Each structure stands twice: as structure tokens, then as C-alpha cells.
Amino acid sequence: MNSKKLKFVIGSLVIIAAVIVLAIQGMKEDTTMSYSKSVSEVQMLGARAHALTLKVNGDLKKGSIVRNNMDLDFVITEGNSELSIHYIGKDPIPDTFNNDMDAEVIVSGKLQQDGVFNAERIQAKCASKYEADYSTPEI
């Protein structure tokens, strides 16, 4: 074999090997992948939810936030469904995250056997606070 053909064969083998490795990794259950669910969907999953990394969205239950040093516990709801959240993340809590706010909350983490969701990330969406006031001024 001449050197050009050898380089081509080696290059092709490297590319094929890389594609195979990526395909195998893609077929494995990836713990970093999260499934986006609502509160009621998480409850419908039952025991299967414990094995998944989840993103759960719901409405913050007013008055449910309890801060204890670095710990933060609260409840999110969807209709009549509720999910207790325990924040174990390292990121700072948003300043707007308080007991009086009307907000949609998205948490990322894992549901524990006791039914409490251990959140590693919190995102609060309080759109009403940031909406522009388009009312016309009185003249």
C-alpha cells in the first residue's frame, strides 16, 4: 500500500471508531439527560420516576417556602397535585423567590423514595413582575 492509501484507511478507521463510541454512549441511559414533566405527570410515573433525572414545572404554592440556613423547602402545584421540593443545589436562590409571588417554577433533580423532589436547580418565572405597563396616562 502506498502512503496516501494507508493515511486514508487509518483516517477512515478513526472516524468509524469515533462514530461507534458516540453511538454506544447515546444508547446508554444518560443520567445527565432530564425529562420535562408537570407535577401530575411525575405522580403518574410512580416508582419509575425515581430512576430519572427530571425537570418539573408547576406553580409555587404561596406560603410554602421555608428557609433554614442553606436549606430551602417549598411546594409546587398543578391543579390539585402537589410536589414537595427540597433544594440541595449550590446556586444562589433568586431574590424574587418569595412566599408572596405568583410564579411558575421549574426545578431539576430527582424524586426520592419518600416522595420529596431533591432539586439541584431552581428557575422561577414571574412574568407579571416584568410585564410592561401599556396603559395610557390620564390627560
How far is it, in rounded angstroms, from Cα 109 to Cα 32?
A: 10
- Model confidence pLDDT, tens digit, residues 49-72: 888 889 999 999 988 999 877 788
Tell me the residue range of the domain where 97 lies: 34-126
User: Per mean pLDDT, which of 9-18, 34-43, 63-72, 118-127 is the most reliable?
Assistant: 9-18
Would you say residue 121 lies in a domain? Answer: yes
Task: Read off φ and ψ for residue 64, nearest 5 degrees.
Answer: -95, -10
Residue 101 has pLDDT above 70, yes or no: yes
Residue 122 has pLDDT above 80, yes or no: yes
CATH of the domain at 51: 2.40.50.140
Q: Could you please report the per-residue DSSP string of 69-115?
A: TTEEEEEEEETTEEEEEEE--SSPPPTT-STT---EEEEEEEE-TTS
How far is it, in rounded angstroms, from Cα 92 to Cα 100?
A: 19
Would you say residue 54 lies in a domain? Answer: yes
Q: How many domains does the chain have?
A: 1
